[in-house]
Amino acid sequence: MSGLPSVTPPPSKSLLLRAAGSPLLPVIALGLIYAWSLTFGYLWDDIFEVRRDFPDSLSRLQEHFRPLYYLSFALTNPLFDSAFEHRLVNYVLLLATAGIGALWAARLGVPVAGLVILATFLHPTFVYPATWISQRNDLLLLLLLFLALLHLREVRGFWYLLLSDLSKSPFVLHTLWFAGRFWLDGHRVRALMAFAIVPLLIAHMLLFWQGVSETASSPMGGFEREGIVGLAVMLLVRGAKVAEGVFLALAPIAAFYEAVPHAMLALIVAVYAGAWGALLWSARGSQWPMRPVTYVVLALLNALPFAINSDPRVIGPVIALLWPALFMFARKGSGLAPTAAVVLLALNLWGTMLNYGISDTGAYRPDEAPDYVLCAEREVQYPMERWRCERNAFAHQIIQGVNRTFQH
């Protein structure tokens, strides 16, 4: 027997790595983590959505063009009459979105795709769509976007894209990225139709959507100065809001605001920055990997609407696309991606737990839901709410100071 040649068995992935790459991992883990949120009650604006019928949903199209979102309530409201049932819809959408997202990430070659998607959807800001009934539009948008990406070369990919545009305005600029891909793949008709959709939707928002004009007087937007100076200042501030949203997507410090010492908060930012820097650094070489760059561009197109609103609750569409794209930079076989994913997952889970009950009002009937009140009129219990309130107050002070300067 000793004279027989030795045979080296082929390398095989460990069971742990196979589990980390499975699309079932984020579905099961998120299902367990967010199961308790099904016991939450109604939040203040849930009461409007859960009472809508089909005619009322149609009447809302002029104010907010997101018909699929309103249609989802028009279809489910006659069937459900409890907060648990309405929350169950969001819960199922969350798990479906994470599962489809993991399939997309695996097809792109994202290392340990299941683990990466789990870390992504445990980003603390996903507490909002996961546990807030009326934040369902984020989940509809992302589910349809992932389906469009999975079927990018098929006709149904275009229809998934169109439905995503009907889920949440003004998050429609990603359509330009799809139009470019359709054109490069030789699907000229789909490309032209996709290009045409964007200006039509933007024109609708500018003409009819009251929210656009209302945000002109919101924090970080209400400048009284007109002319070139006013325009320059407004563009500067709008750009700062986009930068704020992207920063929170990469390092969600709002989830830890005043819940940890300042030194710990700085350390948390450093860990996030170190993880992203290591992933990008691992891709160094003579040929920069362009594939992940294209998906980073797709994610950042969804960051431009932050110029209107950069609250933590609206940045989910950027996170879900940006995080997997950045993990694509990891050098294959280096072990960096699993390590970074575990570290970021741990931080995100911590931030999620700090803000987990952010939409739990204890109001189990629509007529019990509390009215919306300003930050100054209530005790802000959760870090992301403290961040939002104090950030808005700080921005308002800056705006008032600029207005007084121009007036004098």
Residue 350, in any domain of the structure: yes
> What pLDDT, on a 0 to 100 scale, did the predictor assign at position 6?
46
> Is 48 in a helix, a strand, or coil?
helix
- Residues 6+ away with beta carbon under 8 Å from 394: none
Is a pLDDT exceeding 90 seen at residue 161? yes
**Span 61-97, pLDDT tens digits:** 666 678 888 888 888 888 888 999 999 999 999 999 9
> What pLDDT, on a 0 to 100 scale, did the predictor assign at position 222?
52
Is a pLDDT exceeding 60 seen at residue 221? no
Matching residue, tokens 């069971």: 15
Mean pLDDT of 176-181: 94
Burial class (CB in 10 A: 0-12, 13-18, 19+), 285: exposed
Mean pLDDT of 131-153: 94
Report in angstroms the alpha-carbon separations of 347 from 27, 191, 275. Answer: 19, 40, 12
**Span 239-275, pLDDT tens digits:** 888 999 999 999 999 999 989 999 999 999 999 999 9
Contact 354, 332 (CB under 8 A): no
- The rounded distance, in Å, linking the Cα atoms of 121 and 180 is 27
Q: State the pLDDT confidence band at 225, using cuts at 50, 70 and 90.
A: low
Report in angstroms the alpha-carbon separations of 213 from 2, 58, 111, 306. Answer: 83, 21, 43, 15
DSSP designation for 50: T
Nearest to 177 by CA among 191, 189, 167: 191
**Span 304-340, pLDDT tens digits:** 888 887 788 889 999 999 999 999 998 776 789 999 9
- The rounded distance, in Å, linking the Cα atoms of 67 and 64 is 8
Residue 155, in any domain of the structure: yes
> What pLDDT, on a 0 to 100 scale, did the predictor assign at position 2?
45
Query: Which comes out higher in pLDDT, residue 237 or 113?
Result: 113
For 355-387, the three-class secondary structure string (H helix, E strand, C coil) is CCCCCCCCCCCHHHCCCCCCHHHCCCCCHHHHH
Q: State the pLDDT confidence band at 1, using cuts at 50, 70 and 90.
A: very low
Q: State the pLDDT confidence band at 216, using cuts at 50, 70 and 90.
A: very low
Residue 89, in any domain of the structure: yes
Count other Cβ atoms within 10 Å, centred on residue 37.
20
Residue 9, in any domain of the structure: no
Residue 374, in any domain of the structure: yes
Residue 75, in any domain of the structure: yes
Query: Which comes out higher in pLDDT, residue 192 or 365?
Result: 192
248-252 long-range contacts (CB < 8 A, ≥24 apart) are 248/125, 248/310, 248/312, 248/315, 249/123, 249/125, 249/303, 249/315, 249/318, 249/319, 249/322, 250/276, 250/322, 252/123, 252/124, 252/125, 252/312, 252/348, 252/351
Residue 135, in any domain of the structure: yes
Contact 52, 73 (CB under 8 A): yes
Q: Radius of gyration of the chain from Cα atoms? A: 23
Is a pLDDT exceeding 60 seen at residue 224? no
Domain range spanning residue 224? 16-407
> What pLDDT, on a 0 to 100 scale, did the predictor assign at position 218?
46
Positive or negative: CA dihedral 107, 110, 115, 121: negative
- Residues 6+ away with beta carbon under 8 Å from 37: 87, 91, 130, 131, 356, 359, 360
Query: Which comes out higher in pLDDT, residue 115 or 166?
Result: 115
Is a pLDDT exceeding 80 seen at residue 109? yes
Is a pLDDT exceeding 50 seen at residue 7? no
Mean pLDDT for all residues in the chain: 84
Q: How many domains does the chain have?
A: 1
Mean pLDDT of 13-27: 86
Report in angstroms the alpha-carbon separations of 389 from 64, 143, 193, 198, 245. Answer: 24, 30, 41, 33, 16
pTM value? Answer: 0.88
Q: State the pLDDT confidence band at 9, using cuts at 50, 70 and 90.
A: very low
Please state which of the ranges 62-71, 100-109, 299-308 shows the lowest mean pLDDT: 62-71
- The rounded distance, in Å, linking the Cα atoms of 329 and 326 is 6
> What pLDDT, on a 0 to 100 scale, did the predictor assign at position 286?
56
Residue 11, in any domain of the structure: no
> What is the token pair recorded at 375?
């930050």
